[in-house]
Amino acid sequence: MRYRKLTNGDYTFGRREQNFVSDIDAVAQAIRTNLLLLQGEWWEDTEKGLPLFQRILGQPGVPDSVRAADLLVQDVMLQTTGVIRIKNLQSSYKNRAYQFACEVDTVYGALSLQEKVIPQEVII
């Protein structure tokens, strides 16, 4: 697997092979970009992406809602090329922000991931 490297969310150019990530780093970047893709945002497949506005925003931070968000995030990650399984997912919902940490088994090995999926500035 090979992905063009991102810096601050933008593609990098001008350094030939140094502008690409591969193997486990490519899977990590793919997971992050898939989580940032909102459902309905990509014209070619409007069902693809995290259902932030459809199913997560506006839900109170009660345990059932946090578990539902966990399942949605896991679903997006499991659809990422190279991901085999997700282990030890731990999440929190504090100050109107959802965060998670987990271990991801990929075709290239294990990967630790810690993400803030819903930034506080986005939640209304």
Q: What percent of the chain has pLDDT over 70?
A: 84
pLDDT recorded at residue 120: 46
Q: With b meaning 16 or more CB within 10 Å and e meaning fewer, what string describes 74-83?
A: bebbeebebb
Q: Give the gyration radius of the chain's Cα atoms.
A: 15
Instruction: Give the pTM.
Output: 0.78
Q: For residue 114, what pLDDT band results from cuts at 50, 70 and 90?
A: very high
CA–CA separation, 15 vs 61, rounded Å? Answer: 44
pLDDT recorded at residue 26: 92
Tokens, residue 77 = 């990650």
Predicted confidence (pLDDT) at residue 32 exceeds the cutoff of 70: yes
Predicted confidence (pLDDT) at residue 58 exceeds the cutoff of 50: yes
Predicted confidence (pLDDT) at residue 124 exceeds the cutoff of 60: no
pLDDT recorded at residue 69: 85
Q: Are strands 97-106 and 20-22 parallel, antiparallel or unpaired?
A: unpaired
- Complete domains list, the chain, with CATH: 2-118 (3.10.450.40)
88 with 103: CB under 8 angstroms? yes
Tokens, residue 35 = 């989580």
Between 55 and 70, name the one with better pLDDT: 70
